[in-house]
Amino acid sequence: MKRWPALVLLAAMLAFLLRPALFVPLLAPLAPEGAPVIYDRAGLLSLTLAHLALVAGAMVPATLVAVALGIFVRRPAGEAFLPLSRVVTGFGQTFPPVAVLALTVPVLGFGTWPTLLALFLYGLLPVFENTLAAFSALPPSVVEAARGTGMTPRQRLWQVELPLALPLILDGVRTATVISLSTATIGSVVAARGLGEVIIAGLTSQNLAFVAQGGVLVAVLAILLAQGFALLSARLR
Amino acid sequence: MIGLHNLSKHYDDLRAVDDVSLSIETGSVVAIVGTSGSGKSTLLRLVNRLIEPTAGHVTLNGQDTRDMPAFELRRRIGYVIQDHGLFPHWTVARNIATVPRLLGWPKDKIRARVEELLRLLSLDPATIGPRFPHQLSGGQMQRVGVARALAARPELLLMDEPFGALDPVLRGKAQADLRAIQQTLGSTILLVTHDMAEAIRLSDRVAVMRAGRVEQFGTPAEILSRPATAFVRDLVGEGERAFRFLSLIPATDLAEEGAASGQPLPRTATASEALDALIWQNAEALPLEGGGRISRAALLRAGHP
Ligand SMILES: Nc1ncnc2c1ncn2[C@@H]1O[C@H](COP(=O)(O)OP(=O)(O)O)[C@@H](O)[C@H]1O
Ligand SMILES: [Mg+2]
């Protein structure tokens, strides 16, 4: 895999976040006459960091829960819960995040929490399904050897099964993270801080320059994160 | 001494293992031979409790194996499988160290033991030790599998078709190496194979299995000379009985006084190898390294019970 396109992208994004003025000529044609070209109601860098924090805040617990659930339903004690878990995680993914926001704002109030919940539910399925697939794909002779050498179930899990399943699980985390990066933009509807704020401001003031900078930033973040995950799971394989 | 007492494993109506009793003397090799699906692997996995029996039990040096946790039992029993089952994310050295680490041996003792085993299996510790399993040849993987099973000096070694994945040349070499290692270490081995020739070559006693039951349990000579059932006779095969019989006899047992010309036979040769050499060199007799000779007449006399 060639690394330099991602590095160029990263450099361009950092330049934009730290010196947005440099990009004014590029974006000016998209902004209405006399309107600001660069979003100015909050720093783009701080919004980007808030956006990433939102995604991380949802994906870290979603990953832990989904992996733990995936491991649990493969144990004899958890087998009975497999169909139910599939329904629940599948529902979390198919239920539109906007609807989650609408339903939870009355309970959780405006701000970060409803968005975190929506992203968390959305992220469960890809990680859960990949965890199941990763554990089914373990070579039977390796699992047999792990038992045959006298590892306890816990030692088998931590020393053999999880390390071998990790690359495939990470692929699931990557999918979920990339999706939630763009999904997180709708959080701004309920006043969660993030890059969605820039896009929505652009829509309401008919400033395409805002829409473009918010949208491109989210897209670039998604590409860079996907590359980062791919690099990590290649290293683990 | 390992005892299998009336072991049975039933899957619904299928009797995978059906009332099997065997004993394995300490320091001896017992081979289980049978066609595919006769219950060999199931029997082996009952011994280290990878599966629990429907009935019966196993004793390991007088101890009932039901009286200890299964994982503790398995650390006392080496287990070698056809596909090796090496841990792909660990180096060869770390793979071999598996059971000693589980047992909490000190680090330097583990390192010394790993090196000793690599040498025992003719693998260079400096070059092979740090490799990962996918960087090994089939023969090397097989030997690492054996080294891992031997690491914690197990009281019993279970081997399920350990040479099944090797080509015929490597297999012959691996069999000879195993026999040599077994004699050096005095290991107790229960070995599963579908190859009667391999069983006869490697073991002190052979158990012939069919449909979950043991049809005959005896020394290789007994199996060859007095097959208990038609099934055992078929498994032995009519074609090479005499050669197999001769392969059980050391050539030195047939040595007589006197000299002969021709390429001398090594003292480790079997009678079958001696006959092969004799026929090939078209000789009446061949000298034995270190004195004495072996005659064609003596070989022909020895070639049947
Ligand atoms: N977990 C299982 N469930 C049902 N049947 C099994 C199971 N394991 C093995 N068997 C059956 O038991 C018989 C013996 O199998 P196995 O011990 O693997 O034979 P072998 O090793 O001699 O080829 C076969 O008919 C096999 O299909
Ligand atoms: Mg088998």
The overall average pLDDT reported for chain A is 90
How far does B137 lie from chain A, in Å, by closest CA?
17
Q: For B74, which of A143, A148, A164 is closest by C-beta distance? A: A148
**pLDDT surpasses 90 at A58:** yes
Where b means 16+ CB within 10 Å and e means fewer, B229-244 reads eebbeebbeeeebbbb
Other beta carbons within 10 angstroms of residue A201's beta carbon come to 18
Give residue-wise pLDDT tens across range A109-154.
888 899 999 999 989 999 999 999 999 999 999 999 999 999 999 9
Distance CA B215, CA B212 (A): 9
pLDDT of residue A74: 87
CA of B41 to the centre of ligand 2 (A): 4
B13 within ligand 1 shell (Cβ under 6 A): no
B102 vs A149: CB contact, 8 Å cut-off?
A: yes
C-beta of residue A84 within 8 angstroms of C-beta of residue A98: no
Distance CA A179, CA B99 (A): 43
C-beta of residue B9 within 8 angstroms of C-beta of residue B42: yes
CA distances in angstroms from A174 to A55, A93, A123, A169, B84, listed in the order given: 12, 15, 10, 9, 33
B8 within ligand 1 shell (Cβ under 6 A): no
pLDDT of residue B130: 97
Measured from the alpha carbon of residue B20, the closest ligand is 1
- Out of A56-65, B70-79, B85-94, B291-300, which region has the weakest mean confidence (pLDDT)? B291-300
pLDDT of residue A34: 84
The overall average pLDDT reported for chain B is 93
Q: Find chain A residues with C-beta within 8 A of B100's C-beta.
A: none
C-beta of residue A56 within 8 angstroms of C-beta of residue A48: no
**pLDDT surpasses 70 at A1:** no
Distance CA B280, CA A34 (A): 104
Average of per-residue pLDDT across B58-72: 95
Q: Which amino acid is at B275?
A: L
Average of per-residue pLDDT across B269-279: 89
B87 vs A142: CB contact, 8 Å cut-off?
A: yes
pLDDT of residue B244: 83
CA distances in angstroms from A211 to A29, A115, B186, listed in the order given: 13, 20, 78
**pLDDT surpasses 70 at A199:** yes
**pLDDT surpasses 70 at B234:** yes
Distance CA B60, CA B154 (A): 11
Distance CA A143, CA A156 (A): 8
Quick one: pLDDT band at residue B204, thresholds 50, 70, 90? Answer: very high
SS3 call for B27: coil
Interface membership of B134 toward A (CB under 8 Å): no
How far does B148 lie from chain A, in Å, by closest CA?
9
- Give the DSSP letter of residue B135: G
Q: Which value, in Å, is the radius of gyration of the alpha carbons in chain B?
A: 21
Rounded to two decimals, what is the model's pTM?
A: 0.87
- Out of A219-228, B31-40, B101-110, B163-172, which region has the weakest mean confidence (pLDDT)? B163-172
Average of per-residue pLDDT across B143-162: 96
Give residue-wise pLDDT tens across range A146-163.
999 999 999 999 999 999
Q: Which of B223, B281, B271 is nearest to B243 (CA)?
A: B271
Interface membership of B49 toward A (CB under 8 Å): no
The segment with the largest mean pLDDT, out of A26-30, A87-91, B181-185, B270-274, is: B181-185
SS3 call for B287: strand
Share of chain A above pLDDT 90, in %: 58
Average of per-residue pLDDT across B173-181: 92
CA of B28 to the centre of ligand 1 (A): 26
Give residue-wise pLDDT tens across range A98-112.
888 888 888 888 888
Query: What is the 3-state secondary structure of chain A?
Result: CCCHHHHHHHHHHHHHHHCHHHHHHHHHHHCCCCCCCCCCCCCHHHHHHHHHHHHHHHHHHHHHHHHHHHHHCCCCCCHHHHHHHHHHHHHHHHCCHHHHHHHHHHHHCCCHHHHHHHHHHHHHHHHHHHHHHHHHCCCHHHHHHHHHCCCCHHHHHHHHHHHHHHHHHHHHHHHHHHHHHHHHHHHHHHCCCCCHHHHHHHHHCCCHHHHHHHHHHHHHHHHHHHHHHHHHHHHHC
Give residue-wise pLDDT tens across range B212-223.
999 999 999 999
Q: For residue B262, give both structure tokens.
A: 């021709």
| A186 vs B101: which has the higher pLDDT | B101
Domains and CATH numbers, chain A: 43-236 (1.10.3720.10)
**pLDDT surpasses 90 at A218:** yes
pLDDT of residue A217: 94
Which ipTM was obtained for this model? 0.87
**pLDDT surpasses 60 at B269:** yes
Q: For residue A137, give both structure tokens.
A: 């794909």
> Which residues are registered as beta bridge partners of B294?
B286
Where b means 16+ CB within 10 Å and e means fewer, B174-187 reads bbebbeebbeeeeb
Distance CA B207, CA B21 (A): 10
Q: Which of B302, B193, B290 is nearest to B243 (CA)?
A: B302
Q: Find chain B residues with C-beta within 8 A of A149's C-beta.
A: 74-75, 79, 98-99, 102, 148
Q: Find chain B residues with C-beta within 8 A of A151's C-beta.
A: 71, 98, 102
Quick one: pLDDT band at residue A177, thresholds 50, 70, 90? Answer: very high
A148 vs B83: CB contact, 8 Å cut-off?
A: no
pLDDT of residue B84: 92
C-beta of residue B172 within 8 angstroms of C-beta of residue B247: no
Other beta carbons within 10 angstroms of residue A123's beta carbon come to 30
